[in-house]
Amino acid sequence: MKPFLENPIETLAGVGPERAKLLRAEFHIKAYGDLLQHFPFRYVDKTQFHQINSISSDETDIQLRGKINSVRLIGQGRGMRLVAEFSDGTGVVELVWFKGIKWVQPNLKQGIDYVVFGKPSNFKGKFNMVHPELETVESQQKKVGTALQPVYPSTEKAKAKNIDTKAIGRLMNTLVSQVKGQGHIAELYGPDFRTKNHLISREEAFVNVHFPKDSETLKKALFRLKFDELFFIQLRLLKLKLINQNKFRGAVFAEVGEMVNRFYSECLPFELTGAQKRVIREIRHDLGSGKQMSRLVQGDVGSGKTIVALMSMLLAVDNGYQAALMAPTEILAEQHFKTISAFLKKLNLHIALLTGSTKTAERKILHQQLQSGEIHILIGTHALIEPVVQFKRLGLVIVDEQHRFGVEQRAKLWLKGADNEVPHMLIMTATPIPRTLAMTVYGDLDTSVIDELPPGRKPIKTLHRFDSSRQKIFDFMRAEIANGRQIYTVYPLIDESENMDYKDLTDGYESIVREFPQPKYQIGVLNGKMKSQDKDYEMQRFKDGKTQILVSTTVIEVGVDVPNASVMVIESAERFGLSQLHQLRGRVGRGAEQSYCILMTGYALGQEARTRMETMVRTNDGFEIAEVDMRLRGPGDMQGTQQSGQPIFKISNLSKDGQILAAARNAAIDLLSDDPKLEKRENALTKHYLIQEMKNRPNWARVS
């Protein structure tokens, strides 16, 4: 027999074929079980009453308690409405009905205490409620278990067809009464596990999340359901990690040899920061362990990740292996190539560059030199994971600033290892993500954080200015240039194909050329449509100080390093997301001078855009910015977690449920350390559900 919760939704009383279609289309509800997982997004506490004199205009549903002063009918025919004046001693609101007047009117009695529930709206300075719920205090008090009323998410389309929160509540009532006490909701853990983790039964959790007995039970119900959701994600990631570690041997880099030592004593022009040293130690530990390393290094822009990458690669070379560094764009790959070649000049290593624009003839030679082992370090773009690129003995791959580096790419890289060995993997990102999200997205990787900037950097000053103060900004730019500084002006380019954006860029360029005339000033321009040699040429001129202002789109976003550039002006800053603004800002503040980031916007800003600007002005801390970003956009939209279709989380919210996540992760770690293969009898339920989950859910958590 089919499990009860798999019954199609149209077989539930109150759901016909029409509604079934709507539920499916609007909420992905196909079966009973899906409905059960359509969770309330908030609860209205029916024991709390608002006072009329404290109602404000943007209130959602509220509850009032008071008496009816008068009832009257206004207008006639189709325009007729029923209006009751309702007072709670602090003020008066009008209750209004357009429909069902003949049912409502006889029930409106003066002198009786009523409870009214609805959404107030402001009409000519007075508040009213259209079609409120109304019942006598006496009848409300007779009901049990209604103190916390769930509010369900709905859509405009569904509401138009009368599937609003109340209708969903009624369907839920029908379903839950059939589920209660019938054993349809399977338990997922053994009893000991439940006790240890303070989990109420799964059935009790489902019943109470929809019909909370009281707020205490609701809390436990929410904890249980969120725990389940987060626990199985963690269990799966940790299990994957365990399997990978046991399956693949990684090369052992036991030696700290000539290259590392000489680099340290002869080439390194500065002292490493404490954080860099710590992370290098963590990497060295992995590389010497014999297990394959999969490590993520998070470090804010400018924290010095390149050196960490470089020293790891030298360790590979010292142990007779080749290393590869992969960057997301040609500009970056070339910059890495130049920086690294310059750093390693004295060591006489063979370092090569491979990108999409490497000429065929040159490419052939490269391929050969890689296979013969002549090349020690290969730097490039995606071009280096193509199957034709074969190494003699690849021991380490470093992936810089890649957010779209999927499982397939990773697998391709694995194939490049020598004799059964999988190359070690180091993934570097300057996009700090909140800890909770990192645990979920990168849960199968070990992580290191470079949480310290090289000394001597002055924190960037960030200002938010409106378009009207443009002349002042130009004056400021002139003053900075007079002091020998250079300036980026950035225009949003959301979509490379949008001509509108190019117009903004071109107009901006022209106005800057007018304000900063030649020959006194030299201006460069950079955009994604330019040929890569042209981009390079412009970039190089800016780096060499031949241009003072670089007008650009976001192509300068990641990793570009010009220490003398101390001002960044971001135009239409409201069109950028927080993490992108933070990335862009990281292009300045790389030298010893005070740097500035100026966010230009129009006056009309939405609440969210204002929060973004305020956050940027307030802090330089990438992790803090990431937290705000996640709060604003929800984790589903954050970098690395996009997935087509349904949201990742049905009930958890990573920006609020960090503690539950930590509990779930720890529980998963404990469980696996006690029973790595989940063979014990008491873990049979958990194993069964894990297998089911793996079948049902795409592996969204793999971005690295």
Residues 6+ apart with CB under 8 A from 29: 9, 23, 35, 38
Q: Of these partners, Mg ion, ligand ADP, none, which one is at the site of residue 704 (CB under 5 to 8 Å by kind)?
A: none
Q: How many CA atoms within 13 Å lie on the side-chain side of 172?
A: 25
| Shortest distance in whole angstroms from residue 270 CB to ligand ADP | 4
The minimum distance between CB 401 and Mg ion, in angstroms, equals: 7
| Closest distance of CB 295 from Mg ion, Å | 16
Determine the 3-state secondary structure of 244 from DSSP. helix
Q: How far is the CB of 301 from Mg ion (least distance, A)?
A: 7
Residue closer to ligand ADP by CB (options 301, 326) is 301
Q: How far is the CB of 14 from ligand ADP (least distance, A)?
A: 58
The Cα 104–Cα 100 span in angstroms is 6
Q: Which residues pair with 133 in a beta bridge?
A: 117
* Phi, psi at 6, each rounded to 5°: -90, 0
Query: Smaller CB distance to Mg ion: residue 305 or 416?
Result: 305
Strands (E), 2-61: 42-45
Q: Closest-CB residue for ligand ADP?
A: 304
Tell the smallest beta-carbon distance from residue 563 to ligand ADP (Å).
6
Identify the CA nearest to 87 among candidates 104, 105, 68, 61.
Answer: 68
Q: In three state form, how does the secondary structure of 97-152 look?
A: ECCCHHHHHHHCCCCCCEEEEECEEEECCEEEEECCEEEEHHHHHHCCCCCEEEEC
Q: Which partner from the list ligand ADP, Mg ion, none does 399 bind, CB cut-off 5 to 8 Å by kind?
A: none
User: Considering the complex, what minimum distance in angstroms separates the CB of residue 353 from ligand ADP?
Assistant: 17
Q: Which does 276 bind (CB under 5 to 8 A by kind): Mg ion, ligand ADP, none?
A: ligand ADP
Phi/psi of residue 612, nearest 5 degrees: -60, -45
Q: Please say which residue, 282 or 574, places its beta carbon nearer to ligand ADP.
A: 282
Taking the least distance from each CB to Mg ion, the nearer of 279 and 573 is 279
**Measured from the CB of residue 449, what is the shortest distance to ligand ADP in angstroms?**
12
Q: Shortest approach of ligand ADP to residue 303 CB, angstroms?
A: 4
To the nearest whole angstrom, how small is the minimum distance from the Cβ of residue 428 to ligand ADP?
A: 7
Amino acid identity of residue 91, one-letter, is G
Closest CA to 119 of 188, 206, 50, 21: 50
Q: What is the pairing mode between strands 81-87 and 62-74?
A: antiparallel
* CA nearest neighbour of 617 among 507, 462, 404: 462
Whichever of 328 and 559 has its CB closer to Mg ion, that residue is 559
If the CB atoms of residues 61 and 452 are measured against ligand ADP, the closer one turns out to be 452
Is the Cβ–Cβ distance between 75 and 96 less than 8 Å? no
Nearer to ligand ADP, 116 or 327 (CB): 327
Taking the complex as a whole, how short is the minimal distance between the CB of residue 305 and ligand ADP, in angstroms?
A: 3
Kindly list the residues in this chain that would bind ligand ADP in the complex (CB under 6 A): 270, 272-273, 276, 299, 301-307, 430, 454, 559, 561, 590
| Contacted by 561, from ligand ADP, Mg ion, none: CB < 5 to 8 Å by type | ligand ADP
Structural tokens at position 341: 């070649």
Of the two residues 192 and 271, which places its CB atom closer to ligand ADP in the complex?
A: 271
Give the residue with the Cβ less far from ligand ADP, 239 or 582: 582
* Planar angle of CA 82, 88, 92, nearest 5 degrees: 50
Give the H or E element holding residue 325.
strand 322-326
| Separation of alpha carbons 544 and 110, rounded Å | 84
Cβ-based nearer residue to ligand ADP, 299 or 640? 299
Dist CA 621 CA 619 (whole Å): 5
In the complex with ligand ADP, the residue whose CB is nearer, 276 or 294, is 276
Q: Which residues pair with 351 in a beta bridge?
A: 377
Residue 270 binds which entry of Mg ion, ligand ADP, none, CB below 5-8 Å type-dependent: ligand ADP
Q: What angle do CA 536, 515, 493 make, to 5 degrees?
A: 45
Distances (CA, A) of 207 to 39, 64, 178, 181, 306: 11, 28, 11, 10, 53
Interface contacts to Mg ion, rule CB under 5 A: 305, 559
